[in-house]
Structure 1
Amino acid sequence: MRQRQSNRRNPSSARAKGDGHISSRPKSHSTGVPPKRTASSSGLRMRLRLHILRHAQACVDSLGRLLAAPLASIMTVMVIGIALALPTGLYLIVKNLRGFDDQWQSAMQLSVFLQKELPAARLNKLLGELKQDTGIAEFEYRDPAAVLIEFSQLADLGDSLAVLDDNPLPGVIIVQATATDTQAMTTLVERLESKAEVDFVQLDRRWLERLYAIVDIGKRGIIVLACLLGLAVLLVVGNTIRLSIEGRRAEIQITKLIGGTDGFIRRPFLYSGLWYGLFGGIFALILINVALFAIRGPVKALARLYDDGFGLLAVDLSTTGIVVIGAILLGWGGSWLAVSRHLRDIQPT
């Protein structure tokens, strides 16, 4: 009775308890959302792990198949390595020619012969104009007395010129140009010859034009050879993968019959091309280093004859990375082309 009366007296407390019980339901409902998100993220991680595991299995399986046929694999790797070593070796030859920077820079020098008995004011004016010329890297003025001494030493005349009453030689300005092509050099010569203080400008243009032509031919030749040999690597890898596909035709048909996707079938062949490219790039680097070691002695002997400290540069880290990465991409690309072409022709019967 007392309990019933208390409930009658305090109906609000009963409703409050009831309300409190009802209000707790949304809380229990809200706490159920995070487990769903956790399950979704866990499923994503599982799919990612499974994807990585499948790629790892295909990578190891393709390497095992290469090692199972060592003779054929070595021959393919050697062909790829030789094809990659040729353009890389030519590139290193051009790069090593940078050791002749002094001789190269001397080809960019002009001898500016001044008018005889040029007043000091006009000479200073000319030197100031040369300082402002953007086509000139640096210059050196040699007065007539210094030119006479240098000429006497070069011609081995001794004191023969001492009998001359007057110095017949003018002052000379040795100009170091910033130009890197014959057209810019010709423009600079014409600009200098137009000055009233200048008698004439000496430049062996024909030799310079030949030098630039040889360098340009070398650069273009390396690019063309690299493209042709890169195409050869694609064909070699593609043909090797094609033979591998034909050898596993029955296996591919069964895999397609039980529901295997093209991506699943393609994966080990792509990794085979990757391994061919990787080993071919490493073999190319070995060939290049052996060749550099073989010619290092004769090159040093030739440099000593010219009193030059020139030495062959070794294969640096950047060149190594370019060769290896390029070889991997070529191997991968060749296998992709072969698989994409021949996998469509194999259907389950």
Structure 2
Amino acid sequence: MQTRTLGNNGPQVSALGLGCMGMSDFYGDRDDAESIATIHHALERGLSLLDTADMYGPHTNEELVGKAIKGRRGQAFVATKFGIMRDPVNPQARGINGRPEYVRAACEGSLKRLGIETIDLYYQHRVDPNVPIEETVGAMAELVQTGKVRHLGLSEASAATLERASKVHPIAALQSEFSLWTRDPESNGVLDACHRLGISLVAYSPLGRGFLTGAIRSPDDFEADDYRRSSPRFQGENFARNLALVDRVKALAADKGCSPAQLALAWVLAQGKDVLAIPGTKRRSRLDENLGALDVALSKDELAAIDAVFPPEAVAGARYAAASMTHING
């Protein structure tokens, strides 16, 4: 397993992690037995970074990860997140909370559900526009001081917010959507800020929510309760335009002798030694395919060829519905 340093002089973690969200929420039916087997297989293959959040489920994904790592804590580097609140009556409703008292309560809840004494990496899932980042990170820093958290992270934060947060406490990681079809961290200055501040960028959805695998050919491929059915990039003309881009990636992958997923992941990892990726899957077979990306080395010419067929501005549609986009780059 290839490893990368998390933040400035931080721990070594696997360059590829495992996004666990889809095991419990958003992507159709769940199969806890196969999901736990997938987490066990990941740990056995040397993949240490497991990513979850209290809002996945809500809460059930942390419980699942907790079951999976029981007796295997030494193999797992556990990252979880707080800050997005879901209404128990209407799970589609969202709220953002970065108040210090909520930070402390959320951490206690995550520790209990995960069945661990310390969270390795604790993220603020979305920046609360009504609470100064200094107050939120200050509360998170107290968790480090008391031994409940080892390292701090933010998710979908702007470069300016990263600057302010870093003055309160070292930020080890910034989680953001980053892939061939989501190049925002390049255009909005976040990737440059991470390089400058010594913050690792952890790319979630590095496979474009599964689209870059080439396996999705129609919106009908999604289960009835799959949230991608309502995502702008998977609808109508946007879907058709994006599918044409994916077909170009498939052709490049065929020339390289790898799968489209492996090419897409290799592209993300080639963006810097401080960039990690956490593709999500709930199946062991997909996990093994993703890990094959570690054997794909891309030359400068190959990276240029990928950029030529999949330029940043070519993707059609916003990556989230309008309501969710309001909390991006906070």
Task: Place the TM-score, normalised by the shorter chain, in its bin.
Answer: under 0.3
The alignment's TM-score, normalised by the length of structure 1, stands at 0.16
Structure with the bigger RCO (C-alpha within 8 Å, sep 6+) is 1
Higher strand share: 2
The alignment's TM-score, normalised by the length of structure 2, stands at 0.17
Larger Rg over CA atoms = 1
